[in-house]
Structure 1
Amino acid sequence: MADQSASAALAARALALVDLTNLNDGCTDADIDALCARAVTPQGQVAAVCVYPAFVARSKARLAGTGVKVATVVNFPAGGDDTAAVVRETQQAIADGADEIDLVMPYRAFVAGRRGFAEEQIIRVKAAIPAPAQLKVILETGEIGDPLLIHQASQVAIAAGADFIKTSTGKVKVNATLEAAEIMLTVIEETRRDHGRPVGFKPAGGIRTLDDAAAYLALADRILGPDWATAATFRFGASGLLDALLDVIKGGTGSAREGY
């Protein structure tokens, strides 16, 4: 990114799309307070913070009046089969103030051929989320692996009511990849073309630099158009990315940071 002004503009665009994430084991109240403090900067604010359900109410209180949304995760990270428990977890998160629910679809059941089971869990969780709260469905594409199955999982999640489809939990060996992103964005484009229904996209896991973010935005721009990727339709699930983007906006190089 040789042109610093262009890099800074791209970094500012990406910053507004970040779901600033702390899903670390052992996360504390102090960690959440620090996360929420980072969410609003002189250079702009992120779209949302993404935290464990236990921290939703605290995050909501810390971010009151900022416009930053609070997202949380359910059925995370295993993508288990206990749908009733996942629905209860979702209902509690909504009661605590969550604006967005990131559900790990039961991807092992899906890969094993239990497509209807996976679809039903998503439907039931979606039914527990009153508007304007939204549902993001995590496919765990690195574990699904097969491109055809990633395509089918995207279709199932959207048909069952997903407002966004998300690549990964960030907790497995292979997380977001451009290959999976292209498949998912193509299904989103097909859904828009055939049904007129808007669906968002969230790559997560391993996105740490401006170059990383730029590659995903370029893909979205190519498939869905240069005006498509806004906070209403596109998010980056990341913890270290924000620091890299701020560094570029301030004139630095945006070197990689550790994190989700």
Structure 2
Amino acid sequence: MDIKQYLDSTYLKTAEQAGVTDEENILIAQELIQEAIEENFKLIMIRPNRVALAKAMILKAKSTVQVGTVIDFPEGKSEVEEKLKEAVQAIHDGADDLDFVCNYEAFKKGDIDLVKKEVLQCTQLGLANKKVVKWIIEVAALADKEIIQLSSLIKNVIVSNFEQELFSRVFVKSSTGFYKTQNDLPNGATVPAIKMMLENASPLPVKAAGGVRTYGEAIEMIEMGVKRIGTSGAKMIANGQNFNNEY
């Protein structure tokens, strides 16, 4: 097993979040894009305003690394039309994977029709453009019952509206890595949350994001059935090292 083909090397911090200038933040992004090329990771996951940069670097290097970006990140509260507009721009800039933040707050409030609408329309856009689509459900913001219900909702929308051969291109993803929890509780992928997602999203694949910090944890997730892992420590994990950075 080549663990690097499961790893989405991720850098999603703004300059303010990273405590650096905008110029320094661009350099950090460039370094991680170059690292992804050299290490041959599955994908580099970056903010939308860095997609064109990543695509240019990857094409110049004749690399097979894919470019992923986040849509309506990190809260997922925008109208469907705004999500679609942002996704169209990301597609234009060369993104291969579109990781949409699901409007989980609307889901928690019972606005199921809104969530169904965004999952259907945004997935249609992505698949029509031959992209991989992922739906971030933010497990740290959900009770166990809600993780099960939201994973099932996304699965049901996809299974009811798309051909079976497309199911493998639509993921349910655990976390943004930016959700603020109380009492320092985990804000990313946990084994119990991933297990619920795997059981209720199937046949859709699952991506574990946030909180996977060791080679052993990554292997455990893969053996559970996870198809992709998002991490800001991809190189360290691939080399069997541990890391303690945030997502």
**What is the TM-score of this pair, normalised by structure 2?**
0.83
Supply the distance in 1 between the matched residues of 2:122 and 2:237 (Cα, whole angstroms). Answer: 34
In the TM superposition, structure 1's runs of 4+ consecutive aligned residues that sit over 4 Å from their partners are none
Supply the distance in 2 between the matched residues of 1:77 and 1:203 (Cα, whole angstroms). Answer: 16
Question: Which residue is 1:236 aligned to?
Answer: 229
Cα deviation digits, residues 19-42 of structure 1 (max 9, x gap): 10000121632122111111133x
Give, as a single letter, the amino acid of the residue that structure 1 aligns with 2:238.
L
2:7–2:228 Cα contact (<8 Å) kept: yes
**What is the TM-score of this pair, normalised by structure 1?**
0.79
Q: Which runs of 5+ in 1 are unaligned?
A: 1-11, 193-198, 221-228, 249-253
Residue 66 of structure 1 and its aligned partner are, at CA, apart by 0.9
Identity %: 27
1:243–1:257 Cα contact (<8 Å) kept: no
Question: Which residue is 1:3 aligned to?
Answer: none
Cα deviation digits, residues 63-114 of structure 1 (max 9, x gap): 1121111000011101104211111001110111111100000000001111
Question: Which residue is 2:215 aligned to?
Answer: 210
Q: SS state of the match for residue 56, structure 2?
A: helix
Structure 1 residues 95-244: aligned runs within 5 Å:
95-129=92-126, 130-144=128-142, 146-161=143-158, 163-172=170-179, 173=181, 174-189=187-202, 192=203, 199-220=204-225, 234-244=227-237
| 57-66 or 121-130: bigger deviation | 121-130
1:39 equivalent in alignment to 2:24: no
Cα deviation digits, residues 114-147 of structure 1 (max 9, x gap): 1111110111212222342111000001101x22
Question: Which residue is 1:49 aligned to?
Answer: 44
User: Structure 1 residues 257 and 240, CA, compared in 2 at 3 Å: closer, same or farther?
Assistant: farther
Question: Which residue is 2:165 aligned to?
Answer: none
Q: CA-atom RMSD, angstroms?
A: 1.7
Give, as a single letter, the amino acid of the residue that structure 1 aligns with 2:199.
T
Supply the distance in 2 between the matched residues of 1:55 and 1:91 (Cα, whole angstroms). Answer: 15
1:21–1:238 Cα contact (<8 Å) kept: yes
1:147–1:180 Cα contact (<8 Å) kept: yes
Give, as a single letter, the amino acid of the residue that structure 2 aligns with 1:259.
E
